[in-house]
Amino acid sequence: MAAITMGKKQDGFLLRLLKRIALLRESPVGMIGAALVLFWILVAIFAPLLAPYDPNENYMDDYGNWGPSAAFWLGRDNQGRDILSRIIWGSRIVLTVGPIATFCAYVVGCTMGLLAGYYRGWVDVVVSRISDIILSFPVIILYLIIISQFGPSAFNIIVAVTFIASPQVSRIVRSLTLELRERDYVAAAKMRGESAVYIMLVEILPNARGPLIVDACLRMGYTTIAIGVLGFLGLGLPPPDPDWGGMVKDTYTMMSTDPHMSLFPCAAISSLVVGFNLLADGLREISLRD
């Protein structure tokens, strides 16, 4: 290239992180996504300060008039609970279970994918067969079977998500590893006598960052939907915890009279997932422009 960018003194870690985040500015779509996600994160963190009422308390005055009012901005559900507070507190569940589950899926999936892609041979065959078998199930049915068999709890949901998502992550990591292992710098590492673990973690994995970060955002979105769906089907966290999907399940039969009860939690979930997806799209745009 004719133009060579001048290197600067190496910036500190935090500064580099902020600069990378600032890159998002170049993608308006990514910015909107980031804003949405950030919004919900803040809501979850500051839930005790933001929620006007106790989410599980039944406020039965003015029975029958459940709709939004001055006292209850988003109205109440059929048991008199404040929907706004429930949504605020419900964000905590989604934003703890979701990221933990996604993280676990990544740890397992990256390990599987790295091993399969680097060693190839029988390791690859075994990992790929296992992945294929798990992936041959329709996702929703797998969730159904696991949760209905082992019972609904945060832990089980995390296990289910990890079990179902890691083959997908593994596939992505595997194909990235297969490609990256052919690079000359990997051959150079081998010629220095680096161990396989070093090569996988220090030479290969850092260069798979880009696509993996984008996928992680998408996966957070899928996980959020999965948690919502499980709640909706009655397999979510047991009541009275305000799980968004569960809120819809409890109230959508009353749609003809009080549609707000189910519409608001639906909007909450949708907005969070839209946020993750837009963020992922923005990140992908930026990584392509590099």
Partner 1 sequence: MPPVLELENARISYFTRAGEMNVVPGVSFRLEQGEALGLVGESGCGKSTVAFAIMNYLSGVGRLTGGRILFEGRDMSRMTEEELRQIRGGRMAMVYQDPMSSLNPVMPVGRQLMEVPLIHQKASEAEARARALQMLGEVNLPDPESVFDRYPHQLSGGQQQRVVIAMALMAEPSLLLMDEPTTGLDVTVEAAVLDLVRRLRQKHNSSIVFISHNLGTVVRICDRIGVMYAGELVEEGPIGEVFRDPRHPYTRGLLNCIPVLGSSKTSAALAPIPGQVPSTLNRPAGCIFASRCTYVEQGRCTTQPIPTVTVPGSDHHRVQCVRFDELPLRQRPAAAVEAAQVKRDKEDVLTVDHLRKFYRQSPGIFAGGASYDVKALNDIDMSAKRGMTLAIVGESGCGKSTFAKVLTGIELATQGKVVLAGSDIGYTSVEKRPDSLKRKLQMVFQNPDSTLNPSHSVGYIVERALRRLKGVGGRQARAEARKLMDTVKLPVDFVARKPRQLSGGQKQRVAIARALAGDPDLVVADEPVSALDVSVQAAIINLLIELQATRDATLIFISHDLSVVRYLADRVAVMYLGKIVEFGEVDDVFLPPYHPYTESLLSAVPIPDPDLKQKRIILEGNLPSVRNIPAGCPFATRCPRKVGEICDTTPPPERRTPTGHRIACHIPLEDLNRVDPVISRAAE
Partner 2 sequence: MLKFFVKRFGYLLLTMLAVSLIIFVVNEYSPGQVTRKILGPFATQNEVDILTVKMGLDRPIIIRYIEWLGQILRGDLGKSTLWGAPVNSIIWDRLLNTSIIASLAFAVIVPASIIFGVAAGMREGSRLDRTISLASIVTTSVPEFASGVFLQSVFVIWLGLLPGTSPLDASGGWSIASQLVLPVAVMVLYDLGYVVRMVRASMVETMTRPFIRTAVLKGLSFRNVIMKHAIRNAMIGPFTVILLQINYLVTGVVVVEAVVGYPGFGRMMLDAALNKDIAVIEAGSMFAVFVTVSTQIIGDFGYMLLNPRIRFA
Applying CB under 8 A, the residues found at the interface with partner 1 are 1-7, 9-10, 26, 183-185, 187-194, 196, 203, 206-207, 209
- 223 to each of 158, 165, 190, 218, 266, how far by Cα in Å? 10, 9, 38, 9, 15
Cα separation, 273 vs 40, in Å, equals 11
Where does residue 160 fall: left (phi above 0), alpha (psi -120 to 50 degrees), or beta otherwise? alpha
Partner interacting with residue 192 (select from partner 1, partner 2, none; CB below 5-8 Å by kind): partner 1
Partner interacting with residue 122 (select from partner 2, partner 1, none; CB below 5-8 Å by kind): none
Tell me the site size for partner 2, rule CB under 8 A: 42
Partner interacting with residue 241 (select from partner 2, partner 1, none; CB below 5-8 Å by kind): none
Partner interacting with residue 183 (select from partner 1, partner 2, none; CB below 5-8 Å by kind): partner 1
CB count in 10 Å sphere of residue 164: 22
| CB of 73 vs partner 2, minimal distance in Å | 19
User: Which range in 71-79, 169-177, 192-200, 260-268 contacts partner 2 by CB under 8 A?
Assistant: 260-268
Looking at 104, 123, 144, 154, which residue binds partner 2 (CB under 8 A)? 144
Cα separation, 284 vs 212, in Å, equals 10
Q: Hey, which residues between 20 and 79 contact partner 2 (CB under 8 A)? A: 29
Q: Tell me the torsion sign for CA atoms 283, 287, 288, 290.
A: positive
* Nearest to partner 1 of 150, 198 (CB atom): 198
User: Which range in 14-22, 79-87, 97-105, 132-140 contacts partner 2 by CB under 8 A?
Assistant: 132-140
C-alpha closest to that of 258 among 44, 25, 45, 68 = 68
Half-sphere exposure of 207 (CA within 13 A, CB side): 17
Looking at 116, 176, 212, 273, which residue binds partner 2 (CB under 8 A)? 273
Phi, psi dihedral angles at 82 (to 5 degrees): -70, 120
255 belongs to the binding site for partner 2 (CB under 8 A):
yes
| CB of 200 vs partner 1, minimal distance in Å | 13
220 belongs to the binding site for partner 2 (CB under 8 A):
no
Q: Hey, which residues between 78 and 117 contact partner 2 (CB under 8 A)? A: none
User: Which range in 49-57, 145-153, 185-193, 201-209 contacts partner 2 by CB under 8 A?
Assistant: 145-153
149 belongs to the binding site for partner 2 (CB under 8 A):
yes
Contact residues for partner 2, defined by CB under 8 A: 29, 129, 132-133, 135-141, 144-146, 148-149, 221, 225, 228-229, 232-235, 245, 248, 252, 255-256, 259, 262-263, 266-267, 269-270, 273-274, 276-278, 281
